[in-house]
Structure 1
């Protein structure tokens, strides 16, 4: 017991941490939070990444950039050399891309490279790995916890498949003694970058600009919505208190996208949608967007795999994270009350 307490004290002291995927929606906010907690942060980004949301590099080593790619082992190995903790948040998060093999190279191969670099350097004390609720599988008709294991029999998207495969690799590494703590956020939303990882913001923008005039389907979908700052806090708590090999769901309120649209209307004193758009119609529209995507090179907001996800439920309990990590997710209403004025301030929506 005394040893465990000392381990925790070590992690709550200032550490040099590396964040992969630092230019992403979650990674960027994680970098800021780690700095606020007194840690020295190295942001691992690609040369082509948009780093405008990251802090400015400091001359004292408090914040620095490391350029590379998780698919390039040599760049990871170099970045790991002087760090104590790794937050592996880099991932390709899309329901559909023209070349699906990239999901495996980034999401699976990237994790393998992280584990290889850990074994090579010998100075890493803990790895916090950002998995996904998709890695655990759907929960049609019930609420799941960390004990659920993906059946592997069917995948709605190639992204889901890659995260399920990577999850097994992470847990196998933990069984071999690697100090890795997998965390599983739900559907992340909140202020920050409007990227594919912030799908709630993107759908609300479509809704308020009347490009999405109704509900998506009949409201039978179910997702666990996680505010981005709660997820960031959960990551830091996983570094401090998370036990290697233990799984922690960093999820939140379980609701449908109909609930999201209704809450958004109530908060902004605007009208709720008056009808639901059948999923078969959304799927047909998704196929059209896929065709246009191949022409324009712009990834579609909605694609047929997205509709497959919407045909299932993804409801989870975060009771374990609450008990062991002091995880405190805010309600969906509270989170949207913060998020909607932010979108309005950016002039992305009007109300």
Structure 2
């Protein structure tokens, strides 16, 4: 198969390119001229792996990249809890998907689209464990990213109703080795914790998220390409736990002390507002912002039973995944224990 991967230089996309290439597929990676491609495989003379320069917001470059491909993995997204210009979420996350769907119609060679959505598109669960049938209430949005993924989700589902061969994937909070981007929030918080800049727990452990190891999410995507049903949603989630549990487990794995106190979310939010003000001066995006604190005020627990049954999805335990990630961060010299 000739496969196009959008978002290929990102956290998930890069791992996906490697995995597809190792299975003998021909992979074309859509990257911007400014993208860091160091995490991608080297280009090959036989076009087993090639770079296509463009952007999902640039329709012509996207259509050219789709030409001659059989499958598209649309993993490109702007994944940030906060940006000074929130309209960028719409242009990339919503406009990018619209462009992919239009390019697929134009090229007529694409047999299947595997679209990477997000658990945010389904909405918070707040005391329950949701499955793929949950529909976002749209009563509130913690982040502009969430709002954009909900809008894109509607577009993808409507496309499926119209007969577009699309399969929708909903990863949880992705973590693990690969790349330190905003999408790898778990690694960033672990670094803050071990550096002493985050001396206590974030809140009191009332939050709960579904954590997904990046390589499990990759395997789930490839399984969807091979076994997934058109128009179906698949949650690629994992163990449901709080960040307090993550910090406790990290301490247990590394033989270090657990935090001795909890930092109230209102304190974290105040720090987030200060970080946003500093960001507007420096241009460097904050690790913690008020929208990310809003996320922690809710629960995001999901079941991946459907993916297990239909795709053979088999997520590893949170402990196993954290052991790997902590060793990776230590090897990089980003944490010490």
What's the TM-score bracket when you normalise by the shorter of the two chains?
Answer: over 0.9
Per-residue deviation at 1:186? 0.1
Per-residue deviation at 1:153? 1.5
Q: Distance in 1 between matches of 2:203 and 2:138?
A: 26
Q: Distance in 2 between matches of 1:24 and 1:330?
A: 22
Partner of 1:316: 302
Partner of 1:127: 113
Partner of 1:285: 271
Partner of 2:42: 56
Match of 2:292 among 306, 309, 319: 306
Match of 1:44 among 16, 23, 30: 30
TM-score (norm 2): 1.00
Match of 2:209 among 204, 213, 223: 223
Q: CA RMSD in A?
A: 0.4
Match of 1:145 among 111, 128, 131: 131
1:263 aligns to 2:249 (yes or no): yes
Q: Distance in 2 between matches of 1:241 and 1:113?
A: 25
Partner of 1:350: 336
Q: Distance in 1 between matches of 2:97 and 2:228?
A: 19
Q: Distance in 2 between matches of 1:108 and 1:130?
A: 12
Q: Distance in 2 between matches of 1:341 and 1:103?
A: 33
Partner of 2:258: 272
Partner of 1:162: 148
Partner of 2:227: 241
Deviations 1:305-351 (A, max 9, x none): 01110000000000000000000000000100111111000000000
Q: Distance in 1 between matches of 2:88 and 2:238?
A: 29
User: What does residue range 179-218 of structure 1 map to in structure 2 within 5 Å?
Assistant: 179-218=165-204
Partner of 1:65: 51
Q: Distance in 2 between matches of 1:146 and 1:209?
A: 38
Partner of 1:6: none
Per-residue deviation at 1:248? 0.1
Q: Which runs of 5+ in 2 are unaligned?
A: none
Partner of 1:82: 68
Q: Distance in 2 between matches of 1:52 and 1:298?
A: 22
Per-residue deviation at 1:265? 0.2
User: What does residue range 84-99 of structure 1 map to in structure 2 within 5 Å?
Assistant: 84-99=70-85
Partner of 2:157: 171
SS in 1 for 2:131: coil
Partner of 2:14: 28
Could you list the runs of 4 or more consecutive aligned residues of structure 1 that deviate by over 6 angstroms after TM superposition? none
Q: Which runs of 5+ in 1 are unaligned?
A: 1-14
Q: Distance in 2 between matches of 1:170 and 1:238?
A: 16
Partner of 2:99: 113
Partner of 2:319: 333
Q: Distance in 2 between matches of 1:19 and 1:251?
A: 21
Q: Distance in 1 between matches of 2:140 and 2:197?
A: 31
Per-residue deviation at 1:216? 0.3
Match of 1:250 among 220, 236, 239: 236
Q: Distance in 2 between matches of 1:117 and 1:278?
A: 47
Deviations 1:125-183 (A, max 9, x none): 00000000000000000000000000112100000000000001000000000000000
Would you say how many aligned residue pairs link Structure 1 and Structure 2? 337
Per-residue deviation at 1:191? 0.4
SS in 2 for 1:102: helix
Partner of 1:12: none
